[in-house]
Amino acid sequence: MPDRTATHPSEPFADVKARVAAAVEAASTEIIDLSHRIHANPEPAFEERQASTWVAEALRARDFEVQHPAGSLDTAIRAVYRGRRVDDGPRIGILAEYDALPGLGHGCGHNTMAASGFGAAIALAAVADALPGEIVFLGTPAEERGSGKQIMINDGLFAGLDAALLYHPCDRSHVEARALASEDAEVVFTGLQAHAASDPWKGRNALDALILLFSSVGLWRQQLRPSARVHGIIREGGTAANIIPDRTAAWFMIRSEDEAEYRQMRERFRQLCDAAALATETTVELRFSGLARTMRNNPVLVERFRANMAVYGISDEGDDPYAGSTDMANVSWVCPTIHPDLAIAPEGTPGHSILFRDAAATPQADETTLLAATLVAQTAVDLFLEPELVEAAWRAFREA
Ligand SMILES: [Zn+2]
Ligand SMILES: [Zn+2]
């Protein structure tokens, strides 16, 4: 790890950036304590009550104007801190995620994001006398399922933002992120119960339908492009071996790097569900939700984040060809956005795993959390103090 506290920040505005770094250092105990508390108390998508309350309280204690809940989500936060000359300054969004994975805990390390987002916001507030404009902290629930950021966009909580910045933990460090278009597909087959031995011919088997769907998906994969993904789990598979199941349920996700291809896959998946129902004389309900889009990395913000990162001795390892999905991509269609990833674990540590979960509360993760807070805040300083940079970011956004 680089020596975060001894490094001289990148020009321009190195003096303000040094104050930001000092503010993160001064609050480091509070930032890391927040990360560890959220790590020890994992809450899945839309249920992040404790995490969002801790974050909201900490921001209130730092004189942010806090809305919590914000918009239609109980666990969303919008908190504002105004610098000098509000009217002509930009509005820079600092985002934080805090949802965990069901049955796994913080296997995506979002506890470090919540803490670093908080750290970046309060570090900017500490230098607000030097900043025109408005610091907007957005606590964004439900990244792992449901695309909470899209709900917040629909609720108007991103209105007027000139940029959206966050950091995500990873096993490598890279500034640009790929993200596949993705959606959740909830499938329910309904059949008819019967005794599985004495009169099975009277039943209609909803589990047969679900097994057929999994088989169809498995065969379908051969005809899909390498970047496409379709994967699922069985939520309900019946209740007893001696009852013909009348209800089964599955949760699938469908993904592609190309939005047009994604829409075709969605229709094809619907046909596979209908075919499985037809073959088993069951009925099917299919519900899509939580669309995540493809990511538009803003090149102007990418370059500035990379420069801020370089002086701390962290080089950009280049984006990962094997992408997941994120609702931050939806934000990237609304305003200039970046989604830099910084390593908290040895390279090769799989995401969404016990290994990654355990890595998210180690000294390395803590140090990365503080560095991420520093780098996100320093990139925000660039935007606050250089109006041409905001203009250039918007120009690149429109040209993309
Ligand atoms: Zn994540
Ligand atoms: Zn994740």
10-residue mean pLDDT series, the chain (400 residues): 81 96 98 98 98 98 98 98 79 98 98 98 96 96 97 98 98 96 98 98 98 98 95 98 98 96 97 98 97 97 97 92 92 98 97 98 98 98 97 97
- The pocket of ion ligand 1, defined by CB under 5 A, consists of 108
Ligand nearest to the Cα of 97, by number:
1
Task: Please name which of 169, 376, 191, 386 lies closest in space to residue 282, comparing C-alpha atoms.
Answer: 191
Residue-level pLDDT at 83: 79
Eight-class DSSP state of 134: E
Residue-level pLDDT at 86: 59
The Å distance, Cα 381 to ligand 2 centre, comes to 28
Residue-level pLDDT at 6: 79
Average pLDDT of the chain?
Answer: 96
Ligand nearest to the Cα of 95, by number:
1
The Å distance, Cα 209 to ligand 1 centre, comes to 32
The Å distance, Cα 109 to ligand 1 centre, comes to 7
- Residue 342 host element (H or E): strand 341-343
The Å distance, Cα 27 to ligand 2 centre, comes to 27
Residue-level pLDDT at 87: 65
The Å distance, Cα 201 to ligand 1 centre, comes to 47
The Å distance, Cα 198 to ligand 2 centre, comes to 47
Cα distance between residue 27 and residue 23, in whole Å: 6
Quick: pLDDT tens for 180-226: 999 999 999 999 999 999 999 999 999 999 999 999 999 999 999 99
The secondary structure of 136-198 as a DSSP string is EEEEE--SSSS-HHHHHHHTTTTTT-SEEE--EEESS-BS-----EEEEEEEEEE-B--BTTT
Residue-level pLDDT at 102: 97
The Å distance, Cα 132 to ligand 2 centre, comes to 34
Instruction: Pinpoint the alpha helices (H) of 27-162.
Output: 28-40, 49-61, 110-126, 148-154
The Å distance, Cα 144 to ligand 1 centre, comes to 7
User: What is each CA distance from 211 to 248, 266, 278, 288, in whole angstroms?
Assistant: 10, 19, 13, 20
Ligand nearest to the Cα of 107, by number:
2
Ligand nearest to the Cα of 145, by number:
2
123 φ, ψ to 5°? -65, -40
Residue-level pLDDT at 85: 63
